[in-house]
Amino acid sequence: MLDKNEYGFIKNDKDWEMFLKKEKIKDYSTVKVRRAKMKGWAQIAFLLLRIYIIIMLIIVILGFLHLA
């Protein structure tokens, strides 16, 4: 647990940056994250999920229009 007397000085971004340098912590909020590529069954599953959602939206629209 953080000691309030030791870590209570963090009041703004400048204090946070000083704390990161003091503790030798990398600020991961500034690191760009690459998007993972889907492969195999996950790619097929998400494609089928998109198709299912489109079909359900069409059915709902038709239901509201009383055409079905």
The pLDDT assigned to 2 comes to 52
Instruction: Output the CA torsion sign for 15, 17, 21, 26.
Output: positive
- pLDDT tens digits, residue range 24-63? 777 677 778 888 888 999 999 999 999 999 999 999 998 8
Q: Token pair for residue 27?
A: 């600020």
Q: What angle do CA 4, 9, 15 make, to 5 degrees?
A: 140
Q: Provide φ and ψ at 22, rounded to 5°.
A: -65, -40
The pLDDT assigned to 46 comes to 94
Instruction: Output the CA torsion sign for 57, 62, 66, 68.
Output: negative
The pLDDT assigned to 51 comes to 98
pTM for the structure as a whole: 0.47
